[in-house]
Amino acid sequence: MNNIFVYCEIEDESKVADVSLELLTKGRSLANQLNCQLEAVVIGSNLDGAIPEVLSYGVDRLHVFDAPKLYPYTSLPHASILVNLFKQEKPQIALMGADVIGRDLGPRVSSALTSGLTADCTALEIGDHEDKKTGTVYKDLLYQIRPAFGGNIVATIVNPEHRPQMATVREGVMKKAIVNPNYKGEVIKHNVPDYVSETDYAVTVIERHLAKSKNNLKASPIVIAGGYGVGSKANFDLLFELAKELHAEVGASRAAVDAGFTSNDRQVGQTGLTVRPKLYIACGISGQIQHIAGMQESSMIISINNDPAAPINQIADYVVNGTVEEVVPKMIKYYKKNSK
């Protein structure tokens, strides 16, 4: 009772989405801190293959709902399962991915349970909260930390009274780590019709086209991004060379994409991808707000720019005043020399 629940999203029949594995890892550490159990929910069809992987993240109880019509995902059957399961199990915290599925499912579940939900969190912490008006102190609440207002502020949200405390988190924000490949958790296979009624299958998927993403930008811990200042497609190859050395991915500003230096699936920013790597190296990027919106939560930012007044330098941890042509080859050289 009052445990932490993670909804595990299933892609490609029985593969668990990375974002869910990241949340299991976060859920495990929150459970240790709160001295409660970690429970997971998988919903889909032919799920047996997914069970050992989910357990290995330190799951104490795994709820399995396996039926043909539960994959691909549709809103109502998955929502009914979570609503009924949560009513029964009364979790204190429930987490899911802030992707299309989680952002479709989470609000529906939270509305049915009148529990409140914080979208797109970038950090989750445990802490106390005092209601200034009543003086009531709430112990061990989930701090749901997220950017708001177009990325211009960061807000900490709490749900003092309502349970579960629900939050969605984007892919790549948290780390995933297996606890033990043979972690012993209980597996509970539920009878789906006890949770889902026939009328829940109101929307049917008649066709799907999924393209495997060609790059791994969203999940890469290091991103080397190039802007208009990189100057040419040939210079962009320098960034790919550095990326290869550092096991990084290459990103780009819109100006670089528009100039044809690289493909548009690499664009970072308001109208591109949001990335939160450990290290973001901005090469020849001025740092307009629309670009910053997609990378400002990187843990460390290095700017390589020949204009000391470039706005990106304001949010950079390291500013290298110089040209991309000069600095990037030196980085490659000195990385090779010192990393051995």
Ligand X SMILES: Cc1cc2nc3c(=O)[nH]c(=O)nc-3n(C[C@H](O)[C@H](O)[C@H](O)COP(=O)(O)OP(=O)(O)OC[C@H]3O[C@@H](n4cnc5c(N)ncnc54)[C@H](O)[C@@H]3O)c2cc1C
List contacts with ligand X (CB under 6 A). Answer: 227-229, 231, 253-256, 267-272, 284-286, 288, 290-291, 294, 304-307, 310, 323-325
Residues 6+ apart with CB under 8 A from 200: 76, 77, 79, 80
Asked if residue 173 lies in contact with residue 124, where contact means CB atoms within 8 angstroms, the answer is: no
Interface with other proteins, residue 11, by CB under 8 A:
yes
Interface with other proteins, residue 129, by CB under 8 A:
yes
Of the candidate spans 61-69, 159-167, 183-191, 250-258, the one that interacts with other proteins by CB under 8 A turns out to be: 159-167
Interface with other proteins, residue 16, by CB under 8 A:
no
Q: Tell me how far, at minimum, the Cβ of 227 lies from other proteins, in Å.
A: 17
Q: Tell me how far, at minimum, the Cβ of 9 lies from other proteins, in Å.
A: 9
Among 32, 213, 263, 264, binds other proteins (CB under 8 A): 213
Residue with Cβ nearer ligand X (115 or 267): 267
Q: Tell me how far, at minimum, the Cβ of 251 lies from other proteins, in Å.
A: 16
Which pairs from 176-183 meet CB under 8 Å and 24+ separation?
176/18, 176/21, 176/22, 176/24, 176/25, 176/57, 177/25, 177/57, 178/56, 178/57, 179/28, 179/56, 179/57, 179/58, 180/56, 180/58, 181/52, 181/56, 182/56, 183/55, 183/56, 183/57, 183/58, 183/59
Asked if residue 175 lies in contact with residue 60, where contact means CB atoms within 8 angstroms, the answer is: no
Asked if residue 98 lies in contact with residue 169, where contact means CB atoms within 8 angstroms, the answer is: yes
Asked if residue 265 lies in contact with residue 214, where contact means CB atoms within 8 angstroms, the answer is: yes
* Residues in binding contact with other proteins, number by CB under 8 A: 89
Residue with Cβ nearer ligand X (117 or 285): 285
Q: Tell me how far, at minimum, the Cβ of 182 lies from other proteins, in Å.
A: 29
Residue with Cβ nearer ligand X (49 or 329): 329
Beta strands across the sheet bearing 186-189? 117-121, 165-169, 93-97, 4-8, 38-44, 61-66, 186-189
Could you give the CA distance from residue 218 to residue 275 in angstroms, rounded to a whole number?
5
Among 160, 178, 187, 259, binds other proteins (CB under 8 A): 160
Among 56, 61, 69, 72, binds other proteins (CB under 8 A): 72
Among 49, 136, 137, 155, binds other proteins (CB under 8 A): 155
Residues 6+ apart with CB under 8 A from 5: 27, 39, 40, 41, 86, 89, 91, 93, 94, 95, 164
Q: Tell me how far, at minimum, the Cβ of 187 lies from other proteins, in Å.
A: 27
Could you give the CA distance from residue 256 to residue 178 in angstroms, rounded to a whole number?
38
Could you give the CA distance from residue 199 to residue 203 in angstroms, rounded to a whole number?
10
Residue with Cβ nearer ligand X (27 or 277): 277
Interface with other proteins, residue 327, by CB under 8 A:
yes
Interface with other proteins, residue 212, by CB under 8 A:
yes
Among 50, 119, 173, 192, binds other proteins (CB under 8 A): 119
Residue with Cβ nearer ligand X (112 or 319): 319
In the block, residue with structure tokens 């991309």: 324
Q: Which does residue 231 bind out of ligand X, other proteins, none, counting CB within 5 to 8 angstroms by kind?
A: ligand X
Among 69, 222, 231, 237, binds other proteins (CB under 8 A): 222
Interface with other proteins, residue 314, by CB under 8 A:
yes
Q: Tell me how far, at minimum, the Cβ of 185 lies from other proteins, in Å.
A: 27
Interface with other proteins, residue 300, by CB under 8 A:
yes
Asked if residue 142 lies in contact with residue 159, where contact means CB atoms within 8 angstroms, the answer is: yes
Structure-token pair, residue 128? 């106390």
Interface with other proteins, residue 198, by CB under 8 A:
no
